């Protein structure tokens, strides 16, 4: 029975077109070579997990996908990253437009010190997604619903987002990211600051988000990767060691480094 | 299981199971004693500073408050038409031809009349020594303002001379007058008698706050108003220039500029500029704005420009500090939903940094308000003895003084009455500074309360 579910999931993962393609990506922080020649295809409507020991470059690679690394002066990215076959590092690409298409959720919940409503409405506002106040209200409601936060937030839309619990704040950040109608959602250890119950809620949410987005999640918890993802990439010292279906990585890893990591010998 | 410590330290409890928590060991005692001592030092230091502050406040109030009251003499002056308006047609130009000297005999007559009941050996001609030499001008100004007074006998309250004022305030003793050619003890007898009947009164003197400076020999007439205007004009220049320039520079340096040796150098230089003595900015202002740019001397515009140079580093440093204090996660959040760097700064970072920026700006302004040395160098110690709006600080380019420079001028003058006024000026300056600080606190509360 369990196997059936895995196969079904894998079918979803492999049948879909690839959304993101990375070719020979190298990242340097000054002299530090943080990502070494990474090639990977990330599928649409799939949850892809990045795992690996801390400092191996998971976050760095994730930040390449929406060019958040641009804000770090010493960071240099080489190679090609294509989204829908367009090179996102092409000089014609404006990172602002890119980031509306590739939303991001951070490790620590970071709502703006504004109301819940304003948090969600900010993205649509600056991208001109809503023509009227009613449109905006609708975007806010549907984003909060998708983030499974509507029931908790609907009566306090105009109270500060910073006044919510950690788990609620993280779901608010997810709602904020969804509100700009992205196609890809990047999540950098979204549950590491949450308690187990909030973590379970967010994981459930991620599974639902897969219907609409290509989700890439960095996690330090292998159980989490196994629970939420269909594809898993294992990074080690800046190399992408192994990339395959999640169940295959966890049951039958090809590379000895992957095996020792998941069996707890490195990390 | 037996405790090994029991062998080393003798058991302090009857049961013998290790050390008792009820008795402190020597180490703890020592630590507690050190803590108590440190707290005592702290309290002593605090008490010391409070004592000094109290002494300072006491001195300021004691020396400065008398400056806010002034002694006036009430006299009834006859304004005969044949003296003041010879042609009898009330032509204002004819009336103006009579100088203040023309009014002095009238005032003398009024004084003789006022002291008619008092036994005195002061000669009639010497009576006017009781009055400020501004008395003639006071009466003349009233007549010019209202020519209908001519032909009537009008009651005037004129300033008493600074000696009489000093006597009323307890600053001048009878013995002091022996070597004084301005006033005799006999005058004081008249003053005593007149104050019995209400002819000499001491009351609150708005002219000290609102009036212009006066000559060395008329301290009773000098006021702070014109210098205050000069300071206000200067502060406007400083605010309008240093706030936008300072904040823009800080935002650029903090949020946009690449981190390289040039920005490092700029950063070091800004920190150093904040510590440069203000007189250096003064001579810079003299060289650049007056000698090179040929702006007028003693003008609030030049003062403001010079003080802007001095205030900018303060504002830049505090603005950068408050921008730095905004958590980076807010920036990532904004960039992450696709805000541009500019939107990130103006929508999210700046509002959060605002309380700090405003506090820094107001503290910078307060510093500039109290600054004296640079003003001396650019000549902002203008002597302006006429009241607003006659030929004084009606603008940014007219010569003027500023509050601290005026205080400095007064303190330099020989007459002890000016010493009193210098203290009074300090009170006005401190009220200004306190107001600015209160505004800073209110603004900070207002902006912080948003979340
Ligand atoms: N802003 C930065 N400046 C310099 N080096 C960085 C920066 N961010 C990450 N690094 C370096 O890049 C490497 C990968 O870091 P990171 O991507 O954060 O790892 P992970 O997310 O897998 O823990 C580490 O060696 C780290 O020291
Ligand atoms: Mg990381």
Domain assignment present for A80: yes
Q: B133 or A48, which is more confident?
A: A48
**Contact yes or no for A162 and B451 at CB 8 A:** yes
The average confidence (pLDDT) of chain B is 87
CA atoms B57, B62, B63, B68: torsion sign: positive
CATH code (residue A251) = 3.40.50.300
**Closest C-alpha among A261, A255, A230 to residue A242:** A255
Angle, to 10 degrees, between the axis of helix B350-370 and the axis of helix B403-412? 20
Contact B43, B56 (CB under 8 A): no
Do B283 and B371 have their domain in common?
Answer: yes
Domain shared by B134 and B237, yes or no: no
Domain for residue A253, yes or no? yes
The pLDDT of residue B16: 58
Same domain, B187 and B149: yes
Q: How many C-beta atoms surround the C-beta of residue B448 within 10 A?
A: 12
Nearest partner of A121 among A113, A159, A129, A103, judged by Cα: A129
Cross-chain residue pair B336–A96, CB shorter than 8 Å: no
A57 CB near ligand 1 (under 6 Å): yes
| Residue A51 Cβ < 6 Å to ligand 1 | no
Tell me, yes or no, whether B158 and B265 share the same domain.
no
Quick: pLDDT tens for B374-419.
999 988 887 877 765 554 456 788 888 899 999 999 999 988 899 9
Q: Write the pLDDT tens digit of every residue in A160-211.
A: 999 999 999 999 999 999 999 999 999 999 998 888 988 998 999 999 899 9
In chain B, how many domains are there? 2
pLDDT at position B404, please?
A: 94
- Give the pLDDT band (50/70/90) at residue B1: very low
Average predicted confidence (pLDDT) for chain A: 89
Among the bound ligands, name the one nearest to the CA of residue A74: 1
Centre a 10 Å sphere on the Cβ of residue A143 and count the other Cβ atoms it contains.
Answer: 25
> Domain range spanning residue A250?
2-111+168-262
Residue B246 maps to which CATH number? 1.10.3720.10
Domain membership of residue B42 (yes or no) is no
Number of separate domains in chain A: 1
DSSP states of B306-335 as a string?
HHHHHHHHHHHHHHHHHHHTS-HHHHHHHH
User: Would you say residue A4 has pLDDT above 50?
Assistant: no
Most confident of A112-121, B195-204, B351-360: A112-121
- Distance from the Cα of residue B431 to its chain's centroid: 7
Give the one of B258, B332, B343 whose C-beta lies nearest to A110's C-beta.
B332
Same domain, B336 and B418: yes
- A-chain CB neighbours of B336 within 8 Å are 66, 68, 99, 103-106, 177
Q: Which residues in B79-227 belong to E strands, given as ranges? A: 153-159, 200-204
Confirm whether B372 is domain-assigned.
Answer: yes
Question: Looking at the predicted structure, is the pLDDT value of residue A213 above 50?
Answer: yes
Q: What is the pLDDT of residue B440?
A: 87
Averaged pLDDT, A211-229: 92
- What phi, psi does A231 have (nearest 5°)? -125, 145
Judgement on whether residues B391 and B432 belong to the same structural domain of the protein: yes
B320, B251 contact by CB (below 8 A): no
Residue-number span of the structural domain to which B111 is assigned: 66-204
Task: Say if A192 falls within a structural domain.
Answer: yes
Query: Domain ends where: B173, B204, B235?
Result: B204
Q: Do B336 and A71 touch (CB under 8 A)?
A: no
Query: For residue B294, is it within any domain?
Result: yes
Q: Do B353 and B426 share a domain, yes or no?
A: yes
Tell me, using a 6 A CB cutoff, whether residue A69 lines ligand 1: no
For chain B, list residues whose CB is within 8 angstroms of any CB belonging to chain A: 258-259, 327, 329-341, 343, 347-348, 352, 450-451
Residue whose C-alpha is closest to residue B332's, from A214, A102, A71: A71
Widest CA span in chain A? 57
Judge whether B371 lies within some domain: yes
CA distance B211 to B222: 7
Element (H, E) at A223: helix A222-228
State whether B73 and B112 are in the same domain.
Answer: yes
pLDDT-derived band at A1, boundaries 50, 70, 90: very low
**Within a domain: B30:** no
Beta strand segments in B56-115, E: 69-78
Q: Answer whether residue B15 shows pLDDT above 60.
A: no
Determine whether the interchain pair B329/A126 forms a contact, defined as Cβ–Cβ distance below 8 Å: no
Q: Which residue of B has its CA nearest to A182?
A: B337
pTM here? 0.81
pLDDT tens readout for residues B21-55: 888 889 999 999 999 999 999 999 999 999 999 99
SS (H, E, C) A123-190: HHHHHCCCCCHHHHHHHHHHHHHHCCCHHHHHHHCCCEHHHCCHHHHHHHHHHHHHCCCCCEEEEECC
CB pairs under 8 A between A and B: 68
Query: Closest-lying ligand to the alpha carbon of A50?
Result: 1
Which value does ipTM take for this structure? Answer: 0.88
3-state SS, residue B185: helix
Ligand 1 in reach of A55 Cβ (< 6 A): yes
Q: What is the pLDDT of residue B27?
A: 92
**Domain-located, residue B55:** no
- Most ligand 1 atoms within 8 A of CB, residue of A26, A27, A59, A68 to mutate: A59
pLDDT at B270: 92
Please report whether residue B54 resides in a domain: no
Cis peptide before A81 (omega within 30 of 0): no
A28: which strand partners? Answer: A33, A76
For B324, list phi and psi in degrees, rounded to 5.
-65, -30
């Amino acid at each position: 029975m369990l196997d059936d579910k895995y196969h079904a999931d894998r079918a979803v993962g492999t049948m879909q077109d690839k959304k993101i393609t990375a070719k020979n990506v190298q990242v340097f922080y000054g002299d530090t070579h943080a990502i070494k020649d990474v090639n990977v295809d990330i599928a649409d409507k799939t949850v892809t997990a990045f795992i690996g020991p801390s400092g191996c470059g998971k976050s760095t690679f994730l930040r390449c996908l929406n060019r958040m690394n641009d804000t770090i002066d010493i960071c240099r990215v080489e190679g090609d990253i294509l989204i829908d076959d367009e090179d996102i590092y092409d000089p014609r690409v404006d990172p602002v437009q890119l980031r509306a298409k590739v939303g991001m959720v951070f490790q620590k919940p970071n709502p703006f010190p504004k109301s819940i409503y304003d948090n969600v409405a900010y993205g649509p506002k600056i991208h001109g997604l809503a023509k009227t106040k009613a449109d905006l209200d609708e975007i806010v409601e549907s984003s909060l619903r998708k983030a499974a936060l509507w029931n908790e937030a609907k009566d306090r839309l105009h109270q500060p987002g910073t006044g919510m619990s950690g788990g609620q704040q993280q779901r608010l950040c997810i709602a904020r990211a969804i509100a700009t109608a992205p196609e890809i959602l990047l999540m950098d250890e979204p549950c590491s600051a949450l308690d187990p119950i909030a973590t379970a809620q967010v994981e459930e949410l991620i599974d639902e988000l897969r219907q609409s987005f290509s989700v890439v999640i960095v996690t330090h918890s292998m159980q989490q990767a196994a629970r939420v993802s269909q594809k898993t990439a294992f990074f080690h010292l800046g190399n992408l060691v192994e990339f395959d279906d999640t169940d295959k990585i966890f049951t039958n890893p090809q590379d000895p480094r992957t095996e020792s990591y998941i069996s707890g010998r490195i990390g | 299981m037996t405790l090994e410590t029991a062998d080393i330290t003798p058991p302090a409890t009857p049961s013998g199971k290790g050390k008792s928590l009820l008795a402190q060991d020597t180490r703890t005692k020592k630590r507690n004693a050190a803590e108590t001592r440190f707290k005592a030092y702290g309290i002593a230091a605090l008490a010391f500073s409070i004592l000094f502050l109290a002494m300072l406040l006491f001195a300021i109030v004691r020396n400065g408050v008398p400056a806010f009251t002034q002694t006036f003499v009430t006299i009834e002056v006859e304004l005969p038409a044949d003296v003041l308006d010879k042609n009898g047609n009330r032509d204002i130009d004819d009336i103006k031809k009579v100088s203040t000297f023309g009014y002095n005999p009238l005032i003398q007559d009024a004084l003789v009349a006022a002291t008619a009941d008092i036994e005195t050996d002061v000669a009639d001609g010497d009576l006017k020594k009781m009055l400020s030499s501004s008395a003639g001008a006071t009466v003349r100004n009233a007549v010019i303002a209202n020519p209908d007074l001519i032909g009537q006998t009008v009651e005037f309250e004129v300033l008493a001379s600074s000696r009489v004022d000093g006597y009323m305030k307890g600053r001048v003793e009878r013995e002091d007058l022996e070597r004084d050619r301005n006033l005799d003890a006999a005058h004081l007898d008249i003053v005593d008698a007149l104050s019995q009947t209400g002819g000499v009164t001491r009351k609150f003197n708005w002219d000290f706050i609102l009036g212009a400076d006066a000559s060395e020999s008329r301290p009773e007439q000098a006021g702070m108003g014109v210098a205050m205007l000069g300071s206000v004009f200067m502060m406007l220049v400083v605010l309008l220039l240093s706030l936008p320039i300072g904040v823009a520079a800080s935002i650029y340096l903090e949020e946009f500029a690449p981190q390289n040796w040039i920005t490092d150098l700029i950063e070091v230089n800004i920190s150093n500029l904040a510590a440069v003595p203000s007189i250096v900015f003064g001579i810079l202002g003299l060289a650049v704005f007056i000698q090179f740019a040929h702006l007028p001397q003693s003008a609030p515009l030049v003062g403001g420009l010079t003080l802007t140079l001095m205030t900018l580093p303060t504002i830049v440093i505090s603005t950068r500090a408050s921008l730095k204090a905004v958590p980076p996660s807010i920036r990532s959040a904004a960039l992450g939903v696709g805000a541009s760097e500019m939107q990130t700064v103006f929508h999210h970072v700046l509002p959060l940094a605002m309380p700090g920026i405003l506090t820094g700006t107001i503290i910078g302004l307060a510093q500039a308000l109290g600054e004296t040395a640079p003003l001396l160098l650019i000549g902002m110690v203008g002597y302006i003895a006429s009241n607003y709006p006659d030929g004084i600080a009606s603008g940014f380019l007219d010569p003027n003084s500023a509050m601290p420079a005026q205080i400095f001028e007064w303190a330099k003058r020989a007459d002890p009455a000016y010493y009193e006024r210098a203290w009074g000026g300090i009170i006005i300056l401190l009220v200004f500074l306190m107001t600015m600080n209160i505004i800073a606190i209110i603004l900070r509360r207002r902006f912080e309360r948003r979340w």
